[in-house]
Amino acid sequence: MTALACSLAASSAWALPRMSLTIGSRCSNCHVNPQGSGLRTDSGFYSTAQNGAITWEQVGWQKFHDMPDNQLADGRLTVGFDSRLQMARLGAPHWSDDGELVTPDRLVIPMQMAPALSVKITDWLSATGSYNVSTLQHSYLGQSPYDAWLQIKTSQEMPSLRVGMIQPTIGMRHDDHTMLLRRNPLNPGLPMIAPNWNELGAEVTYEGQHWISAEAGVFMANNLALSDSGAVKKGDLITSARLTLWPQLEDYGLNSWIGGSFLKAGDLTLVGSHIGLGKPYWGALQAEMVMTQTAANRDMLSWMIHASHPLKEWFVLEARYEKSTGSTSVANSNAEMTSLVAGVQFIPLPNVELRPEYRVLTTKDWKLAQWALQLHLWF
Amino acid sequence: MAKAADQHDLGVPSGDARADVGSDRREFLCKIGALASAGALAPLVVGCESAEVFGPEPVAGVKLDFDITKEPFKPLADVGGKAKTIVGGTPIVMVRTTATQVLAFKDECPHKQCPLSATGSWDTGKKQLSCGCHGAVFDATGKAVSWPKDGTTQTNLKAFKVTFASPTGTVQA
């Protein structure tokens, strides 16, 4: 199963929930962070090291091709790096002061340049952190430039504890920060939950049984008070929890998950659910929903459905549809956004990902159809 | 097998190995060809881009009378309060800056078009309007005094003429 997981995970270049769903494997199998994203474990590194349309060996870089893992000092140190450049039109079409229709310029934005390190201090204690240098140039309100935590993990069967600057676990952690699940249709330009959101706090993770996983955490609001200042104030207590069941229909080779999330912070209450179905070499179908409500009667409902199919391990077709609606009685306004994204995850060389996408985003006031391209390099 | 191994040692591929190398090369070239073909399709995708703004094109010179005792202008009863309206097709955010002054700006931050009526906040001390989306800041005339460092061009916020004698006034788009 591990071999199968690794061979299939090879088509993933990031903490893509679809990969976990396809192979029925936890994010923590391939990432140091149990939520997924960022620094890879030795299994995660190995699973992507040979996957590409062409290999490093074929272009003459044998040393990189033969690199066995991303660990140093007899496995005490795990090192990694993620870099992402996004080329897209950001913003909304609008009338200029001269009455001309203005289409947003296409920009190239460094989204992520994040070296990461994990140190195994003892058999049960580790320290992990990363710093996203690109936030020095561009960041969203509430985006955390770094994450850092101590993890106590005595065995796979027992719950583990993380303490530090970490992201409360809710729903699935997607690598695409433009997804409507974490945006506010009433303020289309402002994420309700910023990309790389982290808060100071502690979280317990349980993955001791193959059919269930659970997380629960307590945090102090700081960054969430920046991205959703209307509902959360600095210093508010954040409580979060997620429960996921992982049914496997072995007769059909199907993996699945179904679960729910809860978060309470200040005046904000968030309830979410996620469900998905995946099969090796076939792909994945997943859906997720997030409902939020504030004491000031701001209600939002966002949902998405996402399908993916690997033509090759290094060439995966992807499409998703999202819808987000919101209303607030205070300003007596309501809003709606829909998003259609179709694209390809293409890995020309191991550790190099190109993701061309066609995106159509529609609000009550405007519509923008564009192609976008993301370059992702990782180690 | 021993013969094949010897040939490898001499740098001469065996028959099977030659077949493998040829197969690898063909596959490699096919992949390169596929990539080139995909690249050639890119301009077609670019041609599918479009942008659309719903609603009529704004008309300049239109005036609107307002009364802060009536909706949607009631928030202007308090200093720091904001109200949004549309004048001549232009979305406008109005801000009560002092007891005797109301300012009006285009309700679109020129950075990423965030609606300032929702994301903007007026600093009465600095007399500045800041956008909550990405942090652009404008003075009372709409001049950009702080701009996100993301490569976009610093652009001023369009301001509109307002006459105000509490509780009524006029804004001109």
List pLDDT tens digits, range A23-49. 888 889 899 999 988 999 988 898 888
Q: Which of residues 346-375 of A touch B (CB under 8 A)?
A: 346, 348, 356, 358, 364-371
Q: Is the pLDDT of residue A14 over 70?
A: no
Amino acid at site A24: G
Nearest to A370 among B49, B115, B151 (CB): B49
Q: Which CATH class is domain A2-378?
A: mainly beta
Does the distance separating the beta carbons of B112 and A90 come in below 8 Å? yes
Q: In which region does residue A241 sit, left (phi positive, over 0), alpha (psi from -120 to 50) or beta (all else)?
A: beta
Calculate the alpha carbon distances from B49 to A317, A320, A362, B46 in Å: 20, 18, 13, 6
Which residues from chain A sit within 8 angstroms of residue B119, using beta carbons?
187, 189-190
Determine the average pLDDT of the residues in A316-334.
Answer: 85
Q: Is the pLDDT of residue A286 over 90?
A: yes
Nearest to B31 among A54, A90, A108 (CB): A54
The pLDDT, as a whole number, for residue B4 is 38
Number of CB pairs, chain A paired with chain B, less than 8 A apart? 114
Q: How far apart are the first and last CA of chain A?
A: 24
Point out the least confidently predicted range of A133-142, A245-254, B88-97: A133-142
Helix-, strand-, coil-residue percentages of chain A, each rounded to 5: 10, 50, 35
The pLDDT, as a whole number, for residue A122 is 96
Q: Which residues make Cβ contacts (< 8 Å) with residue B153, sequence separation at least 6?
A: none
Return the bridge partners of A328, or none. Answer: A298, A333
The pLDDT, as a whole number, for residue B12 is 33
Pairing of strands B137-139, B144-146: antiparallel
Q: Which of A160-169, A247-256, B148-157 shows the highest mean pLDDT? A: A160-169
pLDDT tens digits along B6-64: 333 333 333 444 444 455 656 666 666 666 666 656 655 667 899 999 877 788 888 89
Residue of A189, A263, A180, A181 whose CA lies nearest to A221: A263
The pLDDT, as a whole number, for residue A346 is 95
Average pLDDT, chain A: 89
- Joined together, the tokens standing for residue B164 give 């105000």
Which residues from chain A sit within 8 angstroms of residue B133, using beta carbons?
141, 187, 189-190
The pLDDT, as a whole number, for residue A228 is 87
The pLDDT, as a whole number, for residue B9 is 35
Confidence grade of residue A22 (pLDDT, cut at 50, 70, 90): confident
The pLDDT, as a whole number, for residue A301 is 96
Query: If you measure CA to CA, which chain A residue comes closest to B107?
Result: A94
pLDDT tens digits along A165-178: 999 999 998 888 78
Calculate the alpha carbon distances from B137 to A127, A178, B22 in Å: 39, 24, 63
Counting beta carbons within 10 angstroms of the beta carbon of residue A319, is it exposed (0 to 12), middle (13 to 18) or buried (19 or more)? middle
**Residue predicted with more confidence, A99 or B76:** B76
Contact with chain B for residue A186, Cβ under 8 A: yes
The pLDDT, as a whole number, for residue B143 is 96
- Alpha-carbon gap, residue B140 to B128, rounded angstroms: 6
Does the distance separating the beta carbons of A369 and B48 come in below 8 Å? yes
Domain boundaries, chain B: 2-46, 63-172
**Residue predicted with more confidence, B108 or B22:** B108
Domain boundaries, chain A: 2-378
Determine the CATH number of domain B63-172: 2.102.10.10
Confidence grade of residue A16 (pLDDT, cut at 50, 70, 90): confident
Q: Is the pLDDT of residue A12 over 60?
A: no
Q: Is the pLDDT of residue A6 over 60?
A: no
Query: If you measure CA to CA, which chain B residue comes closest to A111?
Result: B150
Confidence grade of residue A117 (pLDDT, cut at 50, 70, 90): very high
CA distance B45 to chain A (A): 7
